[in-house]
Amino acid sequence: GAVVSQHPSRVICKSGTSVKIECRSLDFQATTMFWYRQFPKQSLMLMATSNEGSKATYEQGVEKDKFLINHASLTLSTLTVTSAHPEDSSFYICSARGGASTDTQYFGPGTRLTVL
């Protein structure tokens, strides 16, 4: 149980385009989903917390107009990187809280974004 999927697993795009990443909880309802980014050999940095049906809460320094988060249902959250630039290239990972143990987070496999 407690499986989280992400799609796509990797994406390469041109500078200036927008990219959407999906995060799904496959076997449980996730009241809360989290979005992280991870640079090589660095730890996970929380970008935002999203609750189903409400606006996401962004961490300090994260531009909400650049990283659009939608949590439309209890099993799906999306992160859209708008007008992507090379410095946005990173590993983006979502996690979901819910299931049998609501105090733990279950992570997706991550999406590697490369902006040319």
Partner 1 sequence: QKEVEQDPGPLSVPEGAIVSLNCTYSNSAFQYFMWYRQYSRKGPELLMYTYSSGNKEDGRFTAQVDKSSKYISLFIRDSQPSDSATYLCAMKRGSGNTPLVFGKGTRLSVIA
Within positions 97 to 116, which residues make up the interface with partner 1, using CB under 8 A?
97, 101-110, 112
Residue 10's identity, in one-letter code, is R
When binding is defined by CB under 8 A, the residue of 14, 43, 61, 87 that contacts partner 1 is 43
* Segments in 50-101 forming alpha helices (H): none
| Stretch in the footprint of partner 1 (CB under 8 A) among 13-21, 63-71, 74-82, 95-103 | 95-103
Of 31 and 82, which has the nearer Cβ to partner 1? 31
Closest CA to 5 of 66, 94, 88: 94
Binding of partner 1 at residue 51 (CB under 8 A)? yes
Element (H, E) at 98: strand 90-98
